[in-house]
A and B are shown apart, each in its own frame.
Chain A
Amino acid sequence: MTATFNLTGPTPTASPAPPTGATVQLSAVVKAFAGHTALNSIDLDVAPGELVALLGPSGCGKTTALRSISGLESIDSGRILIDGADVADTPTNKRDIGMVFQAYSLFPHMTVLENVEFGLKMRKVAAARRRERALETLDMVGLTKHRDRFAHQLSGGQQQRVALARALVTRPRVLLLDEPLSALDAKVRVQLREEIRRLQTELGITTVFVTHDQEEALAVADRVAVMRDGRIEQIGTPEELYATPANAFVADFVGLSNRMPAELLDGQVHLHGCTLNLLGDPMPDGPVIALVRPEDIALAADGIAGTVISSSFLGSLRRTRVRLDDGTVVAIQHEVELHPLPGASVSVRLKGTPVSALPPKPKK
């Protein structure tokens, strides 16, 4: 199936589609809306066939970055290169991209099959070939039997699958996903993100995936770019971001962290009698808030005393909330065999893993 696609890539250039996608480069891209800087000199390199997730809170500029790549948003300065060519003067419909939107975007007056065929029609692919290709792509998302339905007859998850097929059928150079899963319920979201990842790997399409859900970003992306206020704070593999966050914002945003008051002395974090190495940029000595991952704290025979508040079963592990004697509430991740009851007195111990730290909250 994939082979057929490669041989008949509808790219404007007559040459067959390459086995991997195009490169995407953003260099010093700036975009402002009415005084608000949405993109503040963004640099981003996406390798062929790579899936990069843009992750950040709402208003961080991630969607603007994606829309700039698609051409739906013009940029104020900087350069956007697709396959090395500056696309500044290329309108959206000539950029040869595929895009899936957050809002359901299927054409309501067309059937599923007609929706999927639309991009091929725009590229003047012959009717018989068009139908064949559209059906192949629908098959990839498992919706062939719904080909004659209209959008309103499909569930949200099915609509986004069709939208994905519609974006992929032309074998675009770049696939852009703008929070495609955020309107779906949790179970469908997980299924579909895995499907997106599978298809993306199979087809080798360079993909930029925008999301505000860190779990989603870590699960699907080759690399994740964490954004804040129009800047990329850190870009790296999910493992790098999780284990060695460049700063406290990244540490706080990626994964779950306990906030524990601590002292910083000579670049080391002193916390409940433990001395831990500091991750990220150096900070001035003094009081700080240490960010400790739940798996970096353990229930132990002796250590810091506390009282269990609650304990929840999460399938393969259990997460217990403990109020320490100094009043701090921490979440601890441990094996399911341990089942502390609320109200029980326990002791916890830090495992000694390096931590990130935030400056202390200014006193009111």
Chain B
Amino acid sequence: MGVLGAAGSHLAVAKVSANQAVRIGAEPSTLARRLILGIIGGIFLIPVIAMIEFTFRNGLAGDYTTSHWTGLFSEDSARTYRGLYQAIENSLVLAAVTVGIVLVLLLPTMVLVHMQFPRLKRTLEFICIIPITVPAIVLVVGLAPVYSVVVHVLGGSTWTLAFAYGITVLPYAYRAIQSNLDAIPVKTLSEAASTLGAGWMTVLWKILLPNLRRGVLAASFISIAVVLGEFTIASLLNRRNLQTALLQVSQSDPWVAVIFALAALALAFILLLIIGRLGSATPSRRKS
């Protein structure tokens, strides 16, 4: 899901700069475009449809029932799936803290490098891209001893996992913010603001942030999508989040697990749609 999220943002970003890009070859015909979209859409859609179909199955009897869906709202199930709800809450907290890390740590760093230390841009980009090349399992091996310290200092609460997630979302968040930074004249705008009497914080808050809104929102939504879909790190570090809970539930009640998986998928889909809109809505405002 995370990878899908990143691809979505790249598409949105590419649209913005398409005018300047050198066009290689001709545009495919409408038919070819629809065909490609249809095939890829089908490949994605088949498992989703299968999942939906599965949630209505009545065991192995071969007929259909809505009891798996209606059962979710009964008092019984509330007790049964308390762990799952707790896991959802954990994942949401993790998503929020991860977004916080991106906004508080990554964003100001990127703005600072962009304005004051442009020579460090390459280095920063390299550092931010690294996590995409490191498999989660390798990351965990490295993180395990770190987390033994983290647990010692901060306790074993779930939210501390956000430190690891903050690293895994770096490549996606970096791309989203950087493309926005490149699209606005950061230096001129902040210099103009400071000649008008604005201090550094005012420049960041009142001038740059509103113009980076698109990139910041995209980075946040992608981070949320990545965190909600994360399984490996949580599982190997013995934490409970949405995905590890889903796996556990699926062993006793596969229907409910699939229903929740569908819900998570729907949420991610909505986030991607919002990112897509952000990407396509702004260029008309920026044309001048």
Residues of A at the B interface (CB closer than 8 Å) are 70, 72, 91-99, 101, 103-105, 107-109, 118-119, 122-123, 150-154, 159, 163, 166-167, 170, 176
Q: Are A105 and B288 in contact (CB under 8 A)?
A: no
| Least CB separation from B187: chain A residue | A103
Grouping DSSP codes into helix (H, G, I), strand (E, B) and loop, the B interface class, with mixed when no group exceeds half, is helix
Q: How far is the CB of B283 from chain A (nearest CB, A)?
A: 10
Contact A170 B211, CB 8 Å, known A101-B188, A108-B184: no
How far, in angstroms, from A154 to B287 measured CA to CA in the complex?
Answer: 11
Of chain A, the residue at the smallest CB distance from B196 is A119
The answer to whether A123 and B197 touch across the interface, beta carbons within 8 angstroms, is yes
B185 located at the interface, meaning its Cβ lies under 8 Å from any Cβ of chain A in the complex: yes
Contact of B192 with A101 in the complex, beta carbons under 8 Å: yes
Chain B residues, CB < 8 A from A108: 184, 189, 211, 285-286
Known contacts: A101-B188, A103-B185, A107-B189. The answer to whether A170 contacts B288 by CB under 8 A is no
Which residues 251-266 of B sit at the A interface, judged by CB distance below 8 A? Answer: none
Other A-B contacts than A103-B188, A122-B196, 14 sampled, CB-CB below 8 A, are: A98-B195, A99-B192, A104-B288, A107-B192, A107-B193, A108-B211, A109-B211, A118-B198, A122-B197, A122-B198, A150-B285, A159-B288, A166-B196, A170-B196
Most chain A CB inside 10 Å of its own CB: which residue of B192, B211, B286: B192
Residues of B within 8 A of A70 (CB): 195
B189 contacts A152, C-beta separation under 8 Å: no
Rounded to whole angstroms, the CA-CA distance of A249 and B197 in the bound complex is 39
Chain B interface, number of residues (Cβ within 8 angstroms):
22
Which residue of B189, B194, B286 contacts A72 across the interface (Cβ within 8 Å)? B194
B17 contacts the other chain (Cβ, under 8 Å)?
Answer: no
* Complex Cα–Cα for A167 and B286 (A): 23
Shortest C-beta distance, A182 to chain B (Å), equals 14
Interface flag for B202 (CB, 8 Å): yes
Q: Considering the chains assembled together, what is the distance between the CA atoms of A98 and B210 in angstroms? A: 23
- Most interface-central of B193, B202, B211 (chain A CB within 10 A): B193
A101 touches B286 (CB 8 A): no
Chain A residues with CB under 8 Å of B189's CB are 105, 107-108
Question: Which chain B residues border A170 with CB–CB below 8 Å?
Answer: 196-197
Q: Is the CB of A92 within 8 A of B195?
A: yes
12 contacts between A and B (CB under 8 A): A92-B194, A93-B195, A93-B197, A103-B188, A107-B193, A108-B211, A118-B193, A118-B198, A152-B286, A159-B288, A170-B196, A176-B195
Cβ-closest chain B residue relative to A98: B195
Closest to B285 in A: A152
Q: How far is the CA of A153 from the CA of B285 in the complex (A)?
A: 9
Q: Is the CB of A93 within 8 A of B194?
A: yes
Which chain A residues lie closer than 8 Å to B213 at the CB level?
109
